Homo-oligomer: A and B are copies of this chain.
């Protein structure tokens, strides 16, 4: 996949109009207030999955509608930590296995991995009473007719409540939100909606500037939108109106914590222009690492070190 999006100079100047409806903030106030009516405490059960160097826990916390959402907590040896990173997951992924998440703890940082409801590598069903269990997509257009019914409302609510859970479970002095792709989009949402966010680390964030994504990406998940609208051309406007409630650029304009973005200029799944749409609107301190020849893997393990350095500069650990 060669460069298919605009040149870097244009990307840096790209500032699409924000798309939030007048009731955007109210929508989220109501949504989160309703979710927080469930006052169940998160539970964290120690597990032995063979990982001996760190304390590992299987977590359950109340997410959207109080439904149980899963997570992994991985604590570095030595108990408390300066930082706790709350990490969200990519589309089609989920929390995976606990031994997939060792880097932060190995470097002395606590990590709380939040599952993605319904996604294949997770353990959290969507709408638990009649849980669909993990399954293969598509989630992009589930509830396209109404923001209140859309899947992303539930996913983002889980993300905010995941931060709440981390803050009640982990004795860290600072909390960061992070994640690749869909997880990066969730991190941006939590940066706007959550409490006590000290750093935001969105990598090749998905869920930003959906219209541009659907216009120029020929890969799922953005392609799911185009495929749906191809069959329902009369729903174009309604669908993007619904998606505006979950758009990372709208969230970015409401976020204030220091942030480190990453973007890959040959990313066919999350086109770089959609990342810059959010980055250029981000309202807090910000930096972005540009990987000119990478695709959706972004900066990979090189960027993993960049994230840790960024946290260290904010508060040594």
Residues of A within 8 A of B (CB): 1-3, 49-54, 76-77, 92-94, 96-97, 99-100, 102-103, 105-108, 118-146, 149, 151, 214-218, 220-221, 224-234, 236, 266, 291-295, 297, 299-302, 304-305, 308
Nearest residue in B to A233 (C-beta to C-beta)?
B291
| Separation of A123 and B135 alpha carbons in the complex (Å) | 10
Whether B134 and A122, one on each chain, are in contact in the complex, defined by CB atoms closer than 8 angstroms, is yes
Select one of B93, B293, B304 contacting A226, CB under 8 A: B293
Which residues of B are found within 8 Å of A128, using beta-carbon distances? 126-128
Select one of B135, B139, B214 contacting A118, CB under 8 A: B135
Whether A301 and B96, one on each chain, are in contact in the complex, defined by CB atoms closer than 8 angstroms, is yes
What is the distance, in angstroms, from A137's C-beta to the closest C-beta of chain B?
3
| Separation of A232 and B233 alpha carbons in the complex (Å) | 31
Of A51, A125, A128, A305, most buried by chain B (CB within 10 Å of CB) is A125
Nearest residue in B to A223 (C-beta to C-beta)?
B2
5 interchain residue pairs of minimum CB distance:
A125-B131, A137-B138, A135-B141, A229-B293, A120-B231
Whether A294 and B233, one on each chain, are in contact in the complex, defined by CB atoms closer than 8 angstroms, is yes
What is the distance, in angstroms, from A111's C-beta to the closest C-beta of chain B?
13
What is the distance, in angstroms, from A152's C-beta to the closest C-beta of chain B?
12
Whether A216 and B131, one on each chain, are in contact in the complex, defined by CB atoms closer than 8 angstroms, is no
Whether A105 and B230, one on each chain, are in contact in the complex, defined by CB atoms closer than 8 angstroms, is no
What is the distance, in angstroms, from A276's C-beta to the closest C-beta of chain B?
17
